[in-house]
Structure 1
């Protein structure tokens, strides 16, 4: 019973991490920009944010974003971060499928314990690679 609970919790946490990665890739709140202190910027409505896809101006009545669409004019760290995050998101699907079909509650035809164990190992390895890819992204 404890083994099944560990598998279920591990699969759930892995799925939540993958969904969190997709959300983090899509958001524009990676870096908060402000020329003064944060309290002053909030009071003066001069807060900004930057993500992988857009730069935004934030005020109480306005949230306006301008897309960063000129690929050749973008800094290398943004292009690299985009590539790493997209690759990590795409790597999550096969990792999640491998982890799901390796659980004891899933039954496939011609399935034996060694194949299930190997699927779980490969799925876990893909999740670790996914995490390493995200760890190498940075913002300025």
Structure 2
């Protein structure tokens, strides 16, 4: 009985890390970062694009962001990434609530059998949240790399995957691992 409680606590910690990192990835403005391909030393700005805003970092140290207000003007991969990342955060949060009730080390949540069913439900929520986080990160990365490799795109308009994409991949891993353990 002790090892399974320990594994549940480990999975719960992974799930908390997954929820936090998925939320951070959703909010970060650096899903795409301007690439320094063929630029000269006089380049004055660095640009970043996120799910919710585009930011520019000027050589003077000024950091300016503008929100993306129109949903319909966005490309399909960006609309999908927004939606699935928000759904991932919601499913993972619901999984955390269920996991807190289903942990063997807690006194609330009902009988041993109902705790088992609750823990399995939490695991399913985490797996779904992990997949919902993995899909936009993969699709977004594919779009950025495809555009980067396109020879018709000028060098000044090329972007690379930013840190938020990597955070999304890590959070998907945390959530999937927690779901499988639960």
TM bucket by the smaller chain? 0.7 to 0.9
Unaligned runs of 5+ in 2: 145-182
Q: Distance in 2 between matches of 1:136 and 1:127?
A: 14
Q: 1:21 to 1:41 in 2, by over 3 A?
A: farther
Unaligned runs of 5+ in 1: none
Q: Tell me, what secondary structure is at the counterpart of 2:129?
A: helix
- Corresponding residue pairs, total: 137
Maintained 8 Å contact 1:102/1:119? yes
Query: 1:65 Cα shift?
Result: 1.0
> Quick check: 1:23 aligned with 2:24?
yes
Instruction: Give the structure 2 partner of residue 58 of structure 1.
Output: 57
TM-score in terms of structure 1 length = 0.88
> Could you list the per-position Cα deviations for residues 35-63 of structure 1 after superposition, in whole angstroms to 9, with x for gaps in the alignment?
525xx578733321111011111235111
TM-score in terms of structure 2 length = 0.69
Root-mean-square deviation (CA, aligned residues, Å) is: 1.9
Q: Bigger shift: 74-83 or 28-37?
A: 28-37
- 4+ residue runs over 6 A deviation: none
Q: Distance in 2 between matches of 1:69 and 1:41?
A: 33
Q: Distance in 2 between matches of 1:72 and 1:83?
A: 13
Q: 1:68 to 1:128 in 2, by over 3 A?
A: same
